[in-house]
């Protein structure tokens, strides 16, 4: 089938979500045919509305926990709710999406001999004892905690990817994605950037958990998408896992202060108890990404936050 056309055909699962919709747009810009797959659990038609008229873009409503039969050259497997509020709402389905979804997409890749990339997560490191986190670290994860449906689901997906590679010779890529933000984030996804911006724009108290001194590293979505595309296009022996994220570390309190400043908000800070298994620190070591992909983020936090704030302001005024 693939000999009939020189245009690369790319499947993006979770393509109507925050990250997936940005990836679909970038792939279209590169001249690829894009099949966007999503069950719309957290994805929205609004995220992909500007692409629906493109002749090289196709949207299919489908759940990756069921088999899929299409002809494609590459697969970006992004399907899975990624925020604690969404993935803890139906934890059994979250695990199924990560594990059954991986099995089904790997089976598809095997059938059509496609290269496949797994969007894994920094959550595989859990509440880390190693800082910053590098890919050789095996993590410190609570396998029976409230976050385990996502943490262990993604860890199992990585296992499946490597076993398909070893057993069937499948061309795989595994990216471990750290905190990413930008336009099209869901306003109610419970993540700190979207939470803080929404609360600041409404002049509501900004909710911080614990003492606000836990750290995170924030990567702007355009930089992250560039990393995913570079990883997919890398030589076959560059498999991963490879950390993709911004190595500049901020406390959650510093982020809140910056967002209050940029929005001109009158919000104060409200402190709440720390959720179960919430990691104290999260910072990627991106040495492998620099060496193997010639990649590192270029968007400063303030620049990215301004674009994200503009998006939410326009969304609220629409």
Residue 33 sits in a domain whose CATH number is: 3.40.50.720
| Structural domain of 66 | 7-181+219-246
- Strand residue runs (E) in 164-279: 172-177, 180-181, 206-209, 215-217, 219-220, 242-244, 249-251, 269-272
- Is 140 within the bounds of a domain? yes
Average pLDDT estimate for 220-246 = 97
Average pLDDT estimate for 141-162 = 92
| pTM of this structure | 0.92
Q: Residue 247: what pLDDT? A: 94
Tell me phi and psi for residue 100, to 5 degrees. -65, -40
Q: Which pLDDT band, with edges at 50, 70 and 90, does 83 fall under?
A: low
Q: Which pLDDT band, with edges at 50, 70 and 90, does 3 fall under?
A: low
Q: Residue 315: what pLDDT? A: 83
- Is 258 within the bounds of a domain? no
- Is 310 within the bounds of a domain? no
Q: Residue 142: what pLDDT? A: 86
Give the integer Cα–Cα distance in Å for 100 and 292.
30
The count of domains in the chain is 1
Catalytic pick from 32, 41, 87, 150? Answer: 150
Average pLDDT estimate for 143-158 = 91
- Judged against a pLDDT cut of 90, whether residue 278 lies above it is answered with no
- Is 253 within the bounds of a domain? no
- Is 70 within the bounds of a domain? yes
Which has the higher per-residue pLDDT, 102 or 283?
102
- Is 170 within the bounds of a domain? yes
Q: Residue 210: what pLDDT? A: 83
Q: Which pLDDT band, with edges at 50, 70 and 90, does 58 fall under?
A: very high
Give the integer Cα–Cα distance in Å for 225 and 241.
16
Q: Which pLDDT band, with edges at 50, 70 and 90, does 281 fall under?
A: confident
Q: Is 150 annotated in the active site?
A: yes
- Is 300 within the bounds of a domain? no
């Amino acid at each position: 089938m693939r000999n009939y056309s020189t245009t690369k055909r790319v499947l993006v699962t979770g393509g109507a979500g925050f990250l997936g919709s940005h990836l679909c747009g970038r792939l279209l810009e590169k001249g690829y045919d894009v099949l966007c797959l999503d069950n719309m659990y957290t994805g929205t038609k609004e995220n992909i509305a500007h692409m629906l008229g493109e002749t090289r873009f196709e949207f299919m409503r489908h759940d990756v926990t069921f088999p899929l039969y299409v002809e494609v050259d590459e697969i970006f497997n992004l399907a899975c709710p990624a925020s604690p509020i969404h993935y803890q709402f139906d934890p059994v389905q979250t695990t199924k999406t990560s594990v059954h979804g991986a099995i089904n997409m790997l089976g598809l890749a095997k059938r059509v001999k496609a290269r496949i990339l797994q969007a894994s997560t920094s959550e595989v490191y859990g509440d880390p004892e190693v800082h910053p986190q590098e890919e050789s670290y095996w993590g410190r994860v609570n396998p029976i905690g409230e976050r385990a449906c996502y943490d262990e689901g993604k860890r199992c997906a990585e296992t499946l990817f490597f076993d398909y590679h070893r057993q069937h010779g499948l061309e795989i890529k595994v990216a471990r994605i750290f905190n990413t933000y930008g336009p099209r984030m869901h306003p109610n996804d419970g993540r700190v950037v979207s939470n803080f911006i929404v609360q600041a724009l409404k002049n509501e108290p900004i909710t911080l958990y614990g003492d606000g001194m836990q750290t995170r590293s924030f990567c702007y979505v355009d930089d992250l998408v560039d990393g995913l595309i570079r990883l997919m296009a890398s030589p076959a022996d560059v498999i991963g896992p490879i950390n993709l994220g911004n190595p500049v570390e901020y406390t959650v309190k510093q982020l809140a202060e910056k967002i209050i400043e940029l929005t001109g908000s009158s919000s104060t800070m409200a402190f709440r108890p720390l959720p179960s298994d919430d990691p104290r620190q999260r910072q990627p070591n991106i040495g492998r990404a620099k060496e193997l992909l010639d990649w590192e983020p270029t968007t400063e936090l303030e620049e990215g936050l301004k674009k994200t704030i503009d998006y939410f302001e326009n969304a609220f005024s629409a």
